[in-house]
Structure 1
Amino acid sequence: MKLSTKLLGGFGILIVIVLATGLIGLSQMKAIQAEVDELAGDWLPSIKILGRISNQVNQLRRSELAHILSEDDAQMRELEKGMADAKAIMDKDLAEYSKLITPEHKEERAIFDRFQDALKRYLAIHDQVESMSKANRNKEAAALASGEQRKVVREAIAVLDQLIAINEKGATQSADDAQQAYAFGRTTLIAALVLGALIGLGLALLLSRNVLGQLGEDPGYLQQVSSEVAGGNMDVAFKPVQGSGGVYGVLVKMVATLKDKISEAQHKSDDAARQAQAAQEATYLQKWNAMIDVTALQVTQASELVNGVASRPSPWDATDSADMAKASA
């Protein structure tokens, strides 16, 4: 497998781990955010509204009883205004609370309908009590308020307490779910980080070991000896080759082969020089021999010429012979 493929594969695994860790974190953050949104946007506002409704019912009840007992017209008008304001605030809070009940909370919707029914019956009796009190029929108003109306308002408050309990339970559940999501996310992220660190460390050791196995030596040392070899130093003191040697082993073999080839070439060059010198000497010798042969031939020819000249009769010798012949005669 190519080194680039191994590096890409190793870093690819690390990237996948990082992305998975991030996605897990985002998922858990989303879960926590959902619980926080439900807690802040549903349960807590519902509890707050129900608390206001409970206060207004109690306020209406107290104002009603105070109206029955009061004999001061100004105080009665003030109490009537307060009761009207309380009913207006309750109507607004009831409408707002109704919007907060989600479709999946059917039980809460059913209990809320029961509360509205009980509150409607209470308000109907309240109107009767208020009318009697305005007409100074205080005994009748007190009897109705302490009798039937008391039962109805207790029923309404009991149902209201159920609604408050449901919302408190929902708020507690959302808080618990958010806490669990946080704990799970924290544990998952820690596990993912530890796993990623271990895998990253393992990949780093594996890749470094693989790279060093392919290189055979530390890259810095390889650069050092390669620079010396490139500069012409073939007598580098190499470290012993470990294992297969990798690139370093090939470099050591290459330098050894180069040294052998250079030595062989040097020997061949020396042989060629000797052969050339011998050939040159042979050529000179051949030339000298040829010159000697030519010289000898010339000497021989000269000698033959001299001998030939010497062997011919001289005209002077012929004249002398004739003279001698004449004298004898």
Structure 2
Amino acid sequence: MNWFYHRNIGTKLLLAFASILMLTTFLGGFATLQLRKVNDAAGELASNWLPSIRSLNDIKVALSRVRANEAQMALYENDSTERTTITTVMNKNIDSLTAARKQYEGQISEQGEKAIYPSVKERIEKFIALHEQTLALLSTGQADQAKQLLLGPAFQNYLALLGELDKLAQVNLDGSLQSVHIADVTYDQSRFGIIALLVGSVLVGTLLAVFIARIISTPLRTAGAFANQVAAGDLTAEIRVSSRDETGQLSMALAAMNENLRRIVSQVRGGTETIATASSQISMGNLDLSSRTEEQASSLEETASAMEQLTSTVRENAKNAQQANQLALTASSIAQEGGKVVHQVIETMGNIDASSKKIVEIISVIDGIAFQTNILALNAAVEAARAGEQGRGFAVVATEVRSLAQRSATAAKEIKSLIDSSVQQVGVGSTLVQQAGATMAEVVSSVQRVTDVMTEISAASSEQTQGIEQVNLAITQMDEVTQQNAALVEEAASASQSLSHQTRQLSELVGVFRLPGGVMHAAGVAVSGETLPATRPRPAASTVPSIATSPKAKPVPSAIASPANSDELWETF
């Protein structure tokens, strides 16, 4: 099995799946072949034997019905109406017999049928001839001779024909039973074969899966254990390569990586102490220079902060003046709009007053119409009273019309009263609206004067802001230059200290690895007798808006690179 063991994993899986597919294909082909045999047997049963049995049964039924019709014809020899009906039915049965015989002739397939059918055909033709002879005797009034013919030769031929038909039916029944037997045998064979093939496929697939999983997972577990040893810092571990597939290639790559790590760690240990000593000396000198530069920058920052506060105050006053000016303009616009609205209200109140007067006139006309209607109704009632019984109905109508006219007059008076009251209130409202319009005009005039004053204040505040910003610009530029100097000095100090710190960390990280000599490097390299002082933080600079075009001083980083970055570099490597 060495040829299979050293194959690629893809080839191993391909061969395993190919084996399973071959077994599955063989199983499918075997099942298809057996199903075809079952289908052939069922097709022969459905298309040959059963239709033939049905056709023979139709022939028997047609023969028995014709015999019954002949007997009825003999019994009703004196009833012409009944005989006509029976003749019609009998002709249909003769047609059914002929159709069933032709249908069976197309279904004959076996030698046994071919041997028996000529005799059946001859007897059917004889049956039809005797039938016609019987009908001829009955039509000429020879009923007795017809009955003798029916009970004699015709009956004997009928019995012999039934026997021949039974033989044909038995041949077809035997053929159908044979087809069923073939289907049963094929089913039993198919079931046994399919079960055997399924069990074999499952066993082969299981064995292949276990074998391939073992030859793949064992080297991977070995490589995983080796990688964990290297990750723990043990570079003395060894890995054995036992195959040439992907897992073997992985083991060889891990072995090469381990060898390179050994060489790199040995070289790094040699240069760590030299770097640590030099970086410590540079860091001490830069810290002193950074301290003096920060004191100078702090003083200038305080001056810039005070100037910034003054600039901020003047700028805020200018903004407030602009906002007040804008509010005054808005108030003036609103007041003018209010004056226009009050003028429109005055016009609307006048229109309402005119409309109310027109309504009063219309109500007066309605009141006059109601009065005239009342008079007319009264006259109609008088005329109806004069007419006596004949005018009684008209009198009732006139009374109702009079009542309606009185109600209309009353309603018109009430509406007129309400409209008069509304007209008076509208007049009072118009007077009040006119007074409000005069007051709004005075408000508009006052707001306009306030707007002019606020405009002058806003212009003066803008001039003050420009002057203060020019002074602040000069101080800001001085502060930026000083901040940049301090930042450069502090960056150099921080970089030196960070370099020293990272050198110690590098020594500690390299010390984790164990080389084949069995020597464990000391955790950390002593670069000086005392711990380096931490970099003093810069004083917090005041927030200065970007007025000048020169860039702001960059923030001072606390370290060039963090310890986490060092770990990431080693993990990446």
TM beyond 0.5? yes
Q: 2:141 aligned with 1:136, yes or no?
A: yes
- Tell me the equivalent position of 1:62: 68
- Tell me the equivalent position of 1:319: none
Give how far 1:196 is off: 0.8
Whole-angstrom distance in 2 between the partners of 1:152 and 1:188: 54
Preserved CA contact (<8 Å) 1:234 1:259: no
The superposition leaves residues 5-24 of structure 1 with CA deviations (integer Å, 9 ceiling, x where unpaired) of 33222111111111111222
Q: 2:85 aligned with 1:88, yes or no?
A: no
Preserved CA contact (<8 Å) 1:216 1:241: no
- Tell me the equivalent position of 1:153: 158
Preserved CA contact (<8 Å) 1:216 1:242: no
Whole-angstrom distance in 1 between the partners of 2:177 and 2:158: 28
Unaligned runs of 5+ in 1: 274-329
Distance verdict in 2 for CA 1:109–1:117, change over 3 Å: same
Preserved CA contact (<8 Å) 2:235 2:262: no
Pick aligned residue for 1:50 from 51, 56, 64: 56
Distance verdict in 2 for CA 1:142–1:225, change over 3 Å: same
Give how far 1:216 is off: 2.2
Q: 2:167 aligned with 1:167, yes or no?
A: no
Distance verdict in 2 for CA 1:196–1:66, change over 3 Å: same
Q: 2:210 aligned with 1:210, yes or no?
A: no
- Tell me the equivalent position of 1:176: 181
Preserved CA contact (<8 Å) 1:225 1:236: no
Q: 2:187 aligned with 1:188, yes or no?
A: no
Preserved CA contact (<8 Å) 1:46 1:97: yes
- Tell me the equivalent position of 2:41: 35
- Tell me the equivalent position of 1:116: 121
Instruction: State the TM-score, normalizing by the size of structure 1.
Output: 0.68
SS at 1:63 equivalent: helix
Considering Cα pairs closer than 8 Å and 6+ residues apart, tell me whether 1 or 2 has the greater RCO: 1
Whole-angstrom distance in 2 between the partners of 1:237 and 1:31: 70
Give how far 1:85 is off: 1.0
SS at 1:166 equivalent: helix
- Tell me the equivalent position of 1:16: 22
Preserved CA contact (<8 Å) 2:223 2:254: no
Letter in 2 for 1:8: L
Whole-angstrom distance in 2 between the partners of 1:14 and 1:106: 48
Letter in 2 for 1:76: R
Letter in 1 for 2:89: G
Letter in 2 for 1:173: Q
- What is the total number of aligned residue pairs between the two structures? 261
The superposition leaves residues 190-248 of structure 1 with CA deviations (integer Å, 9 ceiling, x where unpaired) of 22111111111111122223334xx5243xx745754874xx6542797x989959748
SS at 1:42 equivalent: helix
Preserved CA contact (<8 Å) 2:23 2:197: yes
Preserved CA contact (<8 Å) 2:34 2:186: yes
SS at 1:100 equivalent: coil
Preserved CA contact (<8 Å) 1:115 1:160: yes
Instruction: State the TM-score, normalizing by the size of structure 2.
Output: 0.41
Preserved CA contact (<8 Å) 2:223 2:251: no
Give how far 1:77 is off: 1.7
Distance verdict in 2 for CA 1:128–1:255, change over 3 Å: same
Whole-angstrom distance in 1 between the partners of 2:207 and 2:96: 67
Unaligned runs of 5+ in 2: 275-573
Distance verdict in 2 for CA 1:236–1:152, change over 3 Å: farther
Instruction: After TM superposition, list the pairs within 5 Å mapping 1:264-275 onto structure 2.
Output: none
Q: Percent identity?
A: 22
Whole-angstrom distance in 2 between the partners of 1:237 and 1:63: 114
Give how far 1:256 is off: 6.8
The superposition leaves residues 113-155 of structure 1 with CA deviations (integer Å, 9 ceiling, x where unpaired) of 2211111112111211121122221221122222222221111
Whole-angstrom distance in 2 between the partners of 1:154 and 1:41: 29
Letter in 1 for 2:92: D
Whole-angstrom distance in 2 between the partners of 1:142 and 1:157: 20
Q: 2:234 aligned with 1:235, yes or no?
A: yes
Give how far 1:249 is off: 6.8
Whole-angstrom distance in 1 between the partners of 2:229 and 2:117: 91
Letter in 2 for 1:27: L
Instruction: After TM superposition, list the pairs within 5 Å mapping 1:293-308 onto structure 2.
Output: none
Preserved CA contact (<8 Å) 1:122 1:152: yes
Give me the CA root mean square deviation: 3.3
Whole-angstrom distance in 2 between the partners of 1:136 and 1:241: 121
Distance verdict in 2 for CA 1:68–1:223, change over 3 Å: same
Letter in 2 for 1:35: A
Distance verdict in 2 for CA 1:161–1:242, change over 3 Å: farther
Give how far 1:83 is off: 1.9
Letter in 1 for 2:17: F
Whole-angstrom distance in 2 between the partners of 1:195 and 1:249: 36
Letter in 2 for 1:16: M
Whole-angstrom distance in 1 between the partners of 2:154 and 2:96: 21
Preserved CA contact (<8 Å) 1:63 1:83: yes
Give how far 1:258 is off: 5.5
Distance verdict in 2 for CA 1:32–1:118, change over 3 Å: same
Larger CA deviation: 240-249 vs 119-128: 240-249
Give how far 1:172 is off: 2.2
Letter in 2 for 1:121: K
